[in-house]
Every structure is written in C-alpha cells, then in structure tokens.
Amino acid sequence: MLGLILVFRLTQIILLIFIMVMEVFILVMNYQLAIILCLLFQQEVLLIVVLAVLKVLLQKFL
C-alpha cells in the first residue's frame, strides 16, 4: 500500500514539474528555448536541476 502511495506521489510530482516546464516553454521564444535546451543537455545541467527540484519536492511532500 505504501509503495502505491509513493508511486502516486512521484507521478503527481513529475506531472507538476512537467507543467512548470511547459509554462517556461510558453514564456520563452522557441528558438531561444532550443538553444537553452541544447546547452543544458550538453552540460547535463538539466538533469542536476531536475534532481534538485525532485529532492526539494520530495522533502516538501513526504
């Protein structure tokens, strides 16, 4: 039962992050976004940021 709750929480958190990311995408011009994404993926900064956000959100929710 606890595992199911944890999965549900993680799904909620992932959806929340996805929505926030999409809002940022809407705010930023498409070509600028493409450049930023390329730079982030090259430097693997995006992964670090996502992990940091997940950690903070997990601490907040759990």
What pLDDT was estimated at residue 38? 65
Residue type, 4: L
Q: Where are the domains of the chain?
A: 2-61
User: Cα 13 to the chain's mean position, in Å?
Assistant: 8
Count of helices and strands (H, E) across the chain? 3, 0
- Convert the pLDDT of each residue in 1-44 to its tens digit: 778 888 888 888 888 888 777 777 766 666 676 677 767 767 66
pTM value is 0.38
What pLDDT was estimated at residue 13? 85
